[in-house]
Amino acid sequence: MTKPKLFISRELFPDVIEKLMQYFEVEVWDRFQAPPYEVLLEKARVVDALVTLLTDRIDCNLLSQAKNLRIVAQLAVGYDNIDVECATRLGIYVTNTPGVLTEATAELTWALILSVARRIVEADHYVRWGEWYRTKTGWHPLMMLGVELKGKTLGIIGLGRIGRRVAEIGKAFGMKIMYYDRSRDEEAEKILGAEYRSLDEVLSESDIVSIHVPLTKETYHMINEEKLKRMKRTALLINTARGAVIDTDALVKALKEGWIAGAGLDVFEEEPLPPNHPLTAFKNVVLLPHIGSATIETRHAMAELVAENLIAFYQGREPPTLVNK
Ligand code: DGY
């Protein structure tokens, strides 16, 4: 029996590829850079299954030319790069990898919060590039002062799995938790003592605002100039969700004009972020290259879940994390 064809748009862990080879005729794009759209299109036209990353544009043009394609298995929880509505219309399954990256992403969110609050990157540069030595400062009572978290308010925008885990850790830091979401989570309110508020209230009352919503038509530029102006001048803005939830130009303006005190960003409207981007000029901003889920454990679990989805599809079962039921 001929095996269905599978194109994987970037290298995965070898044990997962080997597992998939038992069921599929597998082709892997083995370059570090994403395959160009034309390559994706060419592959989509001939395969039965695709493994995609958030950098692969899977639009309706591509999907409608993919005559044999039955499943797009995304290696990410977010799938804003895929036209799911179109896939559903064409009877193509779309799957993602929720759950397995909650801890890694929540931990990275905290790494950013602490880095910005305690000026970790700035302080590292101060030592590394010799400024501490040159200035002969030694220990000074006013050197590199940051802010403490205990007793402060953590505002979570989007109380899904990751937002909730970030809130739990915030509670352990002795923070007051406030959240905005499309719907209330009364259980979380009980367990975390979290307060449900409007978006504007969360923005204006929080000391740290952390974004955990998916990118959709509704959340695109949800944090714009008007919203940034509502934040405290001492507040820090953290984003480990999707870059386009924040209007980048507005954020640059907010940082320049001191509407907020700093930001920690793992995601950007333009990825990779160009080295001369205005955001790179601010000392009070920590920038990371979209590594929220980048731990060995999590990336392996994500790849395993992609394989589970594909194998379930191959065996005629419903993929466990199907997006378009
Ligand atoms: C996701 O899963 O959507 C992250 O952005 C990458 O892990």
For each of the chain's 325 residues, which pLDDT tens digit applies? 799 999 999 999 999 999 999 999 999 999 999 999 999 999 999 999 999 999 999 999 999 999 999 999 999 999 999 999 999 999 999 999 999 999 999 999 999 999 999 999 999 999 999 999 999 999 999 999 999 999 999 999 999 999 999 999 999 999 999 999 999 999 999 999 999 999 999 999 999 999 999 999 999 999 999 999 999 999 999 999 999 999 999 999 999 999 999 999 999 999 999 999 999 999 999 999 999 999 999 999 999 999 999 999 999 999 999 999 8
Whether 150 is in a domain gets the answer yes
Question: Could you tell me where the beta strands, DSSP code E, fall in the chain?
Answer: 5-8, 25-28, 49-52, 71-74, 93-95, 153-157, 176-180, 195-196, 208-211, 236-239, 262-265, 285-287
Residue type, 172: A
Do 119 and 83 lie in one domain? The reply is no
Do 110 and 96 lie in one domain? The reply is no
Whether 214 is in a domain gets the answer yes
Cα 195 from Cα 177, distance rounded (Å):
6
Cα 83 from Cα 52, distance rounded (Å):
13
Instruction: Return the structure tokens found at 192.
Output: 């975390």
Looking at the structure of the chain, the number of domains it has is 2
3-class DSSP state of 154: strand
Do 307 and 244 lie in one domain? The reply is no
Whether 324 is in a domain gets the answer no
Return the closest-CA partner of residue 171 out of 201, 149, 197. Answer: 149
The confidence score (pLDDT) of residue 1 equals 79
Contact 101 CB / ligand 1 (< 6 Å)? yes
Query: What element of type H or E holds 163?
Result: helix 161-172
Contact 301 CB / ligand 1 (< 6 Å)? no
Nearest residue by C-alpha to atom 6 in ligand 1: 76
- Residue 39: how many CB atoms within 10 A of its CB? 15
Do 213 and 153 lie in one domain? The reply is yes
Instruction: Return the structure tokens found at 311.
Output: 């194998």
| Enzyme catalytic residues | 242, 271, 290
Return the closest-CA partner of residue 224 out of 205, 240, 237. Answer: 237
User: Quick one: how far is CA 211 from the chain centroid?
Assistant: 9
Note down the domain range covering 255: 102-287
Nearest residue by C-alpha to atom 1 in ligand 1: 76
Whether 321 is in a domain gets the answer no
Do 40 and 164 lie in one domain? The reply is no
Do 269 and 160 lie in one domain? The reply is yes
What is the Å distance from ligand 1's center to 133 Cα?
A: 40
Do 122 and 260 lie in one domain? The reply is yes
Instruction: Return the structure tokens found at 201.
Output: 């209230």
Cα 209 from Cα 251, distance rounded (Å):
13
Do 189 and 249 lie in one domain? The reply is yes
Instruction: Return the structure tokens found at 197.
Output: 């508020």
Do 79 and 125 lie in one domain? The reply is no
Are 179 and 159 a contacting pair, CB within 8 Å? Answer: yes
Whether 323 is in a domain gets the answer no
The confidence score (pLDDT) of residue 325 equals 84
Report yes or no on whether pTM surpasses 0.90: yes
What is the Å distance from ligand 1's center to 101 Cα?
A: 8
Contact 66 CB / ligand 1 (< 6 Å)? no
Do 56 and 162 lie in one domain? The reply is no
Return the closest-CA partner of residue 223 out of 205, 195, 202. Answer: 202
Q: How many residues does the chain have?
A: 325
Contact 104 CB / ligand 1 (< 6 Å)? no
Do 92 and 132 lie in one domain? The reply is no
Whether 155 is in a domain gets the answer yes
Contact 77 CB / ligand 1 (< 6 Å)? yes
Ligand 1 pocket test, pick from 74, 101, 240, 291 with the greatest ligand atom count within 8 Å of Cβ, gives 101
Instruction: Return the structure tokens found at 284.
Output: 């009070």
Ligand 1 pocket test, pick from 54, 107, 162, 296 with the greatest ligand atom count within 8 Å of Cβ, gives 54
Do 188 and 64 lie in one domain? The reply is no
Please work out, in degrees rounded to the nearest 5, the angle formed at the alpha carbon of residue 72 by the alpha carbons of 71 and 75: 135
Question: What CATH number has the domain bearing residue 300?
Answer: 3.40.50.720
Q: Which residue has the tokens 């005190």?
A: 261
Whether 320 is in a domain gets the answer no
Say what the ipTM of the complex is.
0.97
Quote the crossing angle between the two packed helices 296-314 and 102-117, to the nearest 10°: 150
Whether 192 is in a domain gets the answer yes
